[in-house]
């Protein structure tokens, strides 16, 4: 499979090159040159397949010859060694729990898949790769965990100081080894901008091989399409049209869902639910894309003012707004609406959602006002315990701390503070 840059200037590259480069030299995001639908029989018999078999069938064409089948199967077995249960909480409303991995947010799958691919590509080379990643909360922990101890790979994580939850911060600042955390005086968008600037800095590029572990990297972005297939496998027997509501920030997860649809998976509609960072809901209304500085919210992993993957979604619909609207709706919700939803879900169903899942729930319910006879699935993208204070306060109930989280609670944070691109560059060149 070849990948082209959405800026259409840089040359096409293989999967391997796309993963190692992260972003094309013309600053465009890489995009697969084709998406071939899977045979009907795959969807007809999906209940009989294991998660690993489903994933292999779905990702194989995007990786093709760069990783031999046997190695790809080993990678998938390692990446997918936990559950992805669909939990029905109301008639026609279910949640797909994506938080059963090591850092308890959905980013574990993409981070582990990318770490395994890079590990495979650098298996018999001495050159080191530096992975640069900006995090709004959960990416940092997932990438730190996925890449810990991977030979030949150094990981540098940028996170906005004071804008991630305590547990999120501990997950990305306490591992050591090949992982370094840079604490940035600024917002997530500042972090993301610094990372993008680093990829264009000639002095850096001469001195090191840099790549990105944000969802702009195809190895982080594409494996997220597995979730939608796992959900379909569990929801198919309901016999209803399926709607997915995805709490969205950088729009990588929902974009991967749309790729699953292009692979032939039957889906009635997608809902992209956001917090007050509403660049995409506004675009869907007005047709104008106006990126804004991000505002801090209780669903902090979605505090993104200029979502990087939205351009891939537009591209999937040939940049045609009417066609996009047929498949996607997008709504934004405030923190107080989110808390109300958390409490409502808990009181009425006993289910404890996290703030991101609650935003997804709200988006789904809004869509179902017009389309009640659909089977709605909202993604629970993180375990509620990662947002301990706000969840416990909202539902007035103490949460049990799972052992993955307990492990980081008593470790000491280690970070290096920076406040500009100069600080980042200085660290990269002299650390
Ligand atoms: C990253 C994240 C999101 C947003 O996902 P995108 O792919 O960036 O849209 C939503 N919820 C949680 C908990 C996250 O960590």
Q: What pLDDT, in 10s, does the model give residues 69-104?
A: 999 999 999 999 999 999 999 999 999 999 999 999
> Is the model's pLDDT at 125 over the cut of 80?
no
Q: Cα(194) to centroid of ligand 1, in Å?
A: 20
Burial group, residue 245, by CB count within 10 angstroms (0-12, 13-18, 19+): buried
270-325 pLDDT per residue, tens: 999 999 999 999 999 999 999 998 899 999 999 999 999 999 999 999 999 999 99
For the chain, what is the mean pLDDT?
95
Q: What pLDDT, on a 0 to 100 scale, did the predictor assign at position 78?
A: 95
Atom of ligand 1 nearest to the CA of 224: 7
Mean pLDDT within 397-403: 91
Give the lowest-confidence range in 200-209, 230-239, 242-251. Answer: 200-209
Q: What pLDDT, on a 0 to 100 scale, did the predictor assign at position 46?
A: 98
Q: Beta strands 2-5 and 30-32: pairing type? A: antiparallel
Q: What pLDDT, on a 0 to 100 scale, did the predictor assign at position 155?
A: 96
Q: Cα(138) to centroid of ligand 1, in Å?
A: 7
| Cβ-contact 101, 115 below 8 angstroms | no
**Which of 2, 21, 65, 107 is labelled catalytic?**
107
- pLDDT-derived band at 350, boundaries 50, 70, 90: very high
> Is the model's pLDDT at 384 over the cut of 80?
yes
Domains of the chain, by residue range, sit at 83-103+221-398
What's the token pair of residue 288?
């104008």
Of 107, 109, 171, 362, the one to substitute when testing ligand 1's pocket (max ligand atoms within 8 A of C-beta) is 107
> Has 107 been annotated as catalytic?
yes
- pLDDT-derived band at 222, boundaries 50, 70, 90: very high
Q: What pLDDT, on a 0 to 100 scale, did the predictor assign at position 123?
A: 82
Atom of ligand 1 nearest to the CA of 356: 11
Of 134, 226, 253, the one to substitute when testing ligand 1's pocket (max ligand atoms within 8 A of C-beta) is 253
> Is the model's pLDDT at 200 over the cut of 90?
no
Mean pLDDT within 197-212: 92
Q: What pLDDT, on a 0 to 100 scale, did the predictor assign at position 127?
A: 79
Q: Cα(124) to centroid of ligand 1, in Å?
A: 34
Tokens 């997860």, located at residue: 253
Of 273, 301, 308, the one to substitute when testing ligand 1's pocket (max ligand atoms within 8 A of C-beta) is 301
Domain 83-103+221-398 has CATH 2.60.40.10: no
The three-class DSSP label of residue 208 is coil
Torsion of CA 110, 21, 118, 409, to 10 degrees: -50
């Amino acid at each position: 499979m070849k990948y082209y840059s959405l800026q259409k200037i840089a040359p096409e590259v293989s999967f391997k090159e796309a993963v190692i480069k992260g972003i094309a030299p013309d600053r465009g995001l890489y995009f697969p040159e084709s998406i071939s639908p899977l045979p009907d029989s795959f969807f007809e018999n999906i209940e009989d397949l294991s998660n690993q078999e489903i994933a292999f069938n779905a990702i194989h064409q995007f990786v093709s010859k760069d990783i031999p089948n046997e190695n790809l199967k080993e990678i998938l077995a390692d990446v997918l060694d936990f559950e992805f249960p669909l939990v029905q909480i109301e008639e026609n409303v279910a949640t797909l729990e994506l938080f059963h991995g090591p850092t308890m947010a959905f980013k574990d799958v993409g981070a582990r898949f990318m770490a395994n691919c890079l590990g495979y590509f650098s298996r018999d080379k001495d050159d080191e790769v530096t992975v640069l990643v900006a995090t709004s909360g959960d990416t940092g922990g997932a990438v730190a965990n996925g890449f810990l101890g991977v030979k030949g790979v150094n990981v540098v994580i940028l996170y906005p100081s004071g804008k991630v939850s305590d547990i999120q911060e501990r997950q990305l600042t306490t591992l050591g080894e090949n992982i370094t955390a840079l604490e940035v005086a600024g917002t997530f968008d500042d972090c993301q901008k610094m990372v993008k600037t680093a990829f264009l800095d000639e002095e850096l590029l001469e001195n090191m091989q840099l790549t990105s572990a944000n969802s702009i990297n195809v190895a982080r972005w594409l494996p997220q399409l597995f979730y939608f297939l796992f959900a379909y496998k569990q929801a198919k027997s309901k016999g209803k049209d399926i709607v997915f509501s995805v709490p969205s920030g950088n729009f990588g997860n929902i974009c991967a869902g749309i790729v699953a649809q292009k692979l032939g998976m039957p889906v009635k509609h997608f809902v992209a639910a956001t917090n007050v960072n509403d660049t995409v809901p506004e675009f869907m209304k007005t047709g104008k894309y106006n990126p804004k500085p991000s505002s801090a919210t209780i669903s902090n992993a979605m505090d993104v003012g200029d979502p990087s993957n939205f351009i891939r979604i537009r591209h999937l619909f040939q940049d045609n707004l009417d066609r996009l609207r047929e498949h996607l709706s997008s709504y934004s919700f405030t923190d107080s609406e989110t808390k109300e939803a958390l409490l409502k879900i808990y009181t009425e169903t006993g289910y404890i959602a996290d703030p991101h899942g609650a935003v997804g729930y709200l988006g789904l319910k809004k869509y179902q006002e017009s389309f009640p006879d659909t089977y709605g699935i909202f993604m629970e993208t993180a375990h509620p315990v990662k947002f301990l204070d706000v969840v416990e306060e909202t539902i007035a109930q103490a949460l049990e701390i799972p052992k993955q989280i307990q492990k980081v609670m008593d470790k000491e944070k280690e970070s290096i503070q920076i406040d500009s691109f100069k600080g980042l560059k200085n660290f990269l060149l002299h650390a």
